[in-house]
Amino acid sequence: MPVNYLTTRVVEKKKTKTPSYGMTKDGYTKNSCAPTQWLVRLENETRWRRLMVLQFSNVGSCFLKIKGNKVFVKDYQMPDIA
């Protein structure tokens, strides 16, 4: 199964309170994903999207759901915040 990576630039991010759904008491994800505290806005979009994480051990992979598909986000694609 091919992995899709984000090709659109992330132009803004903001931190929110982390929603509590999707996590086990040990900090791992139930089903297929869990929300993070980050919302991101993509270039040429006005909506904010919740950054999600797949986490099965100490390492996780972040992704966005776009049109029902998981699109993985690499660390360098996230802008720094002051």
What residues does each domain of the chain span?
10-76
Q: What is the CA radius of gyration of the chain?
A: 13
SS3 34: strand
Cα–Cα dist 44/36, whole Å: 23
pTM reported for the whole predicted model = 0.72
| pLDDT band at residue 82 under the 50/70/90 scheme | very low
Burial group, residue 15, by CB count within 10 angstroms (0-12, 13-18, 19+): exposed
What is the per-residue pLDDT across 29-57, written as a single tens digit (0 to 9) for each?
555 577 888 899 999 999 999 988 876 65
Q: How confident is the model at residue 78 (pLDDT cuts 50, 70, 90)?
A: confident
The token pair at 39 is 């919302």
Q: In angstroms, what CA-CA distances link 25 with 19, 21, 29, 55, 63?
A: 14, 11, 9, 13, 22
